[in-house]
Amino acid sequence: MSNRMAAFGGPGKKKLEWRRFRYPESLVSYAGWLIAFTVVVFSIEYLNIPLDRILGMLGRMGDILADRYYPPDIEYIMDMDYFGYVVETIQMAYLGALFGLIITIPIAWFASFNMTPSRRFVYPVARLFGMSCRAVHETIWAILFVSILGFGMLPGVLALTLFSAGFAAKLFAEEIERIDMGPVEAMRSTGANLFQIMLFGVWPQVRVAFTGIAIYTWDVAFRAATVVGFFGAGGMGWYLKRNVLQIETERVAAIILSIIVLVIISEALSAWARRAVMKMK
Amino acid sequence: MAVLKVTDLHARYSAKGPEILKGISFEVEENDFFAIIGPSGAGKSTLIRCINRLVEPTSGSIVFDGQEVTTLRRVELRRLRRDIGMIFQEFNLVNRMSVMDNVLSGRLGYTSNLRTLFRAFPREDIDHALSLLDRVGLIDHVDKRADQLSGGQRQRVGIARALMQDPKLMLLDEPTSALDPKISREVMELIKEMAQELKVPCLCNIHDVKLATECCNKIIGLQDGVTMFSGLTGDMNEEKLGEIYAMEVL
Ligand SMILES: Nc1ncnc2c1ncn2[C@@H]1O[C@H](COP(=O)(O)OP(=O)(O)O)[C@@H](O)[C@H]1O
Ligand SMILES: [Mg+2]
């Protein structure tokens, strides 16, 4: 034993030890990787995925696109009628995101483990609500509401509301769970009630994050809004469906192109806005 | 009559966990500046949080202002907490909120939900906040965000917030441990002066024994949740101190 070690450990003291390999944790994790790898190999075998045919298919797809979908009928979408549907889509996304965000605030509060009014009852119910919103795909919500309410914007807005609420509530609840609990304790000690603590102790801490989540939500709601119309829930999706059914492939190409452009624009705007908000911190 | 009378207080954080407080008893009287000293981990913060039930004691009795605290229901407990100001080691301010709003938040127990929503505090609360901020030397920083202040200034905001409550008792959890020695002394002096001016008794956790003997008239020494010493500051001597801190030196 060197002098240096003797000074700390001394004779008769337990020898200090540290190793990266832990038994059995490390073994379990190695086994996990092995199993994951084996599963991937077996699934490729089992599904009989023919990589050469996939590559060939890409080529054929290119041919078909060039043949039937080119050139896109741009003139068709440069039309006031279509523009009206675009505006309707934006309105639907806006309203859906707005209503979704409004119900997100209480849901996320109730579903945050640190601030929920009751961990035994309110917390699981709020979590379940958020999970159900996310579990059902937005197009299925659209189909559901169309079948209840008939065609139009209203079922679209409702579908997007649930979609946005499910999306935003999870992010926002996580944000609430990350706050500094010191100020919360301080306000509790002044005799403030839970509502006041949320307003004064929690909201200032999560306000910026909430704004970011709101912008993000609007962005994904817009993307979802472009398709719910396919099922009769209003917006450009309806236009798309009509032309698909009539096999107007060049018009379909133009519509898809316009959706792509709009989604890219909305995403760029939201990325820019979110960065601006984060700077405010 | 004692403002606060604690009898045989026990506390633990979970049913299976270790007992943190093992039967603590003491009394705080009017005009007392009562120190709780002891090595870290002794249970000082736990004890002080039991008084306003931020931590639930498992047994024992706490009588504050003639009222048994341990059996209060939720609404009564909030009412009681309005009368007890608290100052924290880590200040516990809302960083992204103005100094003014941080101080006004001491008034929430007296404010309706609707007023809270619109931050519409009564005029007299605002005047009170201004005079307290003036007294603690922050009148030029009223609209700054709390995170723009230095440590000493932040604790002054904490003091103003606690005094905003017009408390009948102050609980201080190592109010100066996060500050450097010079500022520490200034802040402690300020607390002591204001407590005397406003005639508020204080119950104060202190790690630094020297500071405790300088500021306080009574001392209780804790070690591992057990009272090792209890009495007037004058009766405190090196030998007893050594006993309390023996664990820490080892
Ligand atoms: N929230 C908590 N949950 C479980 N144990 C805790 C908690 N807070 C403190 N403890 C434990 O209680 C003991 C006393 O802590 P504390 O009251 O903070 O002592 P002090 O303030 O004297 O340093 C320590 O052993 C600590 O680990
Ligand atoms: Mg402590």
Instruction: Name the CA dihedral angle for A246, A248, A251, A257, rounded to a multiple of 10 degrees.
Output: 90
Question: What's the rounded Cα separation, in Å, for the pair B194 and B135?
Answer: 9
Cβ atoms of A111 and A169 closer than 8 Å? yes
List all residues of chain B from 38 to 57 with a beta carbon under 8 Å from chain A: 52, 54
Q: State the Cα–Cα distance between residues B88 and B54, nearest whole angstrom.
A: 13
- Residue B154 predicted with pLDDT over 80: yes
Q: How confident is the model at residue B98 (pLDDT cuts 50, 70, 90)?
A: very high
Chain B residues in contact with A209 by the CB 8 A cut-off are none
- 8 A C-beta contact, residue A271 and residue A277: no
- pLDDT of A6 > 70? The answer is no
Q: What domains can you pick out in chain A, each with its CATH number? A: 21-68 (no CATH), 75-278 (1.10.3720.10)
Whether the per-residue pLDDT at A69 is higher than 80: the answer is no
Q: How far is the CA of A197 from the centre of ligand 1 (A)?
A: 24
Residue A10 binned pLDDT confidence (cut-offs 50, 70, 90): low
From the list A184, A229, A217, A212, the residue with the least C-alpha distance to A275 is A212
Mean pLDDT in chain A?
88
Q: Which of A170, A167, A176, A166 is closest to A113 using CA atoms?
A: A176
Chain A residues in contact with B93 by the CB 8 A cut-off are 183, 186
From first CA to last CA, the distance across chain B in angstroms is 41
Residue A5: per-residue pLDDT: 52
Please indicate whether residue B20, judged by its CB atom, sits closer than 6 Å to ligand 1.
yes
From the list A22, A257, A56, A224, the residue with the least C-alpha distance to A142 is: A224
Q: Which of B94, B97, B165 sits opposite A190 (nearest CB)?
A: B165
Please indicate if any CB of chain A lies within 8 Å of the CB of B112.
no
Structure tokens at B157: 């905001």
Helix, coil or strand: residue A110? helix
> Rounded to whole angstroms, what are the CA distances from B180 to B176, B177, B186, B187?
8, 8, 10, 10
User: pTM for this one?
Assistant: 0.85
- Which of B9, B46, B88 best tests ligand 1's pocket when mutated (most atoms within 8 Å of CB)? B46
| Cα–Cα distance list, A34 to A27, A28, A46, A47 (Å) | 11, 10, 18, 20
Report the complex ipTM.
0.93
Q: What is the pLDDT of residues A143-191, one digit of tens each?
A: 999 999 988 889 999 999 999 999 999 999 999 999 999 999 999 999 9
Ligand 1 atom with minimal separation from the B47 CA: 17
pLDDT of B250: 41
